[in-house]
Amino acid sequence: MTLAGPPRAVGVSPSASGPARAREALRQLAGRLPADAAGLVPALATGDRSRLDPQLEEDMRTAGLGHLTAVSGANFAIVLGCATLGLRLARCPRWAVVAGCAVTLVAFVAVVGPEPSVLRAAAMGSVGLLALATGRPGPGCSALSLAVVVILLADPALSLSLGFLLSVLATLGIILIAPRLAAALRAHLPDWLSLAVAVPLSAQLLCGPVLVLVQPQFQTWSLAANLVAAPLVPLITIASTLALAAASVAPPVASMAIAVAGPPAELLALIAHMTAALPSAGLEWPEGPPGMVAMGFVSALNGAAVLAAGDPRVRRGATALAGRALRLAAGRPREKVDG
């Protein structure tokens, strides 16, 4: 073999050009939106941060919302959850629901691009959806273990990948914590909103101790920011994914989907900017194992607080304590209780 000259591109395979055209069409459609939304919509749909403003990207990291701009198992769980809900509302039999979810999964991977990180996210998202659908940790943990073994056998180098570890931890959080968090939040929120809040929150609780190894910083308002942003994420993800799928075949549908995704994306950017501007939004945190252990303790306290808020006994105790405090503040004596 003789080298005749520098390498040059002679073409692009059809399997690679299709997703690339779809992503470019999504960028063009999102370009009609305000600057922040124009960068966030492709980022949440496909992980494309090429048009994301650097200041917004930094503010999202400071606010603890940076994980939203990468394709993860949560994206697949949202898309598959929407497909499952639609098929169940149509009273489809179980086999049709499973088949529909499988087709949706393959189509989403094809449109986003069958990159290794996307395939891993698809596997984790499918496992997380299984856990949410059954409501029991057993099947989800078994499926997660099988998925991890198969993926590591296919690519052993991933055993040293921080991204893969975070993906597994996020899925484990969805399996073990999300159902209980959603049940606790149903005391205050509608069913759909409680689940939308529980999924990212549970993933964040398990990923936090590992993230401080990369960025030793305590994001003071991360929990609050994720709770406020949680209802917006599914709406942006579903609308932008619909625009991505319809951009080449049905431009009017894609334009309407982008119009739907725009306002919540702008609101998400506003949440990131306001949270990052709050006092002590990013505090220095111990590095190494001590920082990881300390963050694990903080995550456990946050999770326990949310779970306790859904316990009727805790709510009654808190109400009684607040009533006594108000009476003391008003200078009124405590009411006498007979018996």
Q: Which of 22-31, 106-115, 124-133, 181-190 has the lowest mean pLDDT?
A: 124-133
**Which residues are CB-neighbours of 67 under 8 A, at least 6 positions away?**
200, 203, 204, 207
Q: Which of 60-69, 129-138, 231-240, 273-282 has the lowest mean pLDDT?
A: 129-138
Can you give the pLDDT at residue 321? Answer: 58
Q: Is the pLDDT of residue 49 over 70?
A: yes
Is the model more confident about 20 or about 52?
A: 52
171 neighbors 123 (Cβ within 8 angstroms): no
Is the model more confident about 263 or about 87?
A: 263
150 neighbors 168 (Cβ within 8 angstroms): no
Q: Residue 339's pLDDT band (boundaries 50, 70, 90)? A: very low
Q: Residue 217: phi, psi to the nearest 5?
A: -145, 140
Can you give the pLDDT at residue 273? Answer: 92
**pLDDT (mean) for 52-61:** 88
Q: Is the pLDDT of residue 5 over 70?
A: no
Can you give the pLDDT at residue 292? Answer: 84
Can you give the pLDDT at residue 130? Answer: 64
Percent of the chain topping pLDDT 70: 75
Which has the closest alpha carbon to 232: 77, 59, 40? 40
* Residue 276: CB atoms within 10 Å: 22
Is the model more confident about 125 or about 228?
A: 228
Q: Which residue has the tokens 């200041």?
A: 55
Q: Which two tokens mark 220?
A: 């003071």
**pLDDT (mean) for 228-256:** 85
pLDDT for 142-171, tens place per residue? 777 888 888 888 888 878 877 778 778 877
Q: Is the pLDDT of residue 46 over 90?
A: no
Q: Is the pLDDT of residue 268 over 90?
A: yes
Q: Residue 337's pLDDT band (boundaries 50, 70, 90)? A: very low
Amino acid at residue number 320: A
27 neighbors 43 (Cβ within 8 angstroms): no
Q: Which of 27-41, 120-134, 170-184, 202-216 has the highest mean pLDDT?
A: 27-41
pLDDT for 319-332, tens place per residue? 565 566 556 555 54
Can you give the pLDDT at residue 260? Answer: 92
Q: What is the DSSP letter of 69?
A: G
Q: Is the pLDDT of residue 51 over 80?
A: yes
Q: List 284's β-bridge partners, or say none.
A: 217
Q: Residue 131's pLDDT band (boundaries 50, 70, 90)? A: low
Q: Which of 26-30, 195-199, 307-311 has the lowest mean pLDDT?
A: 307-311
Q: What is the DSSP letter of 284?
A: E
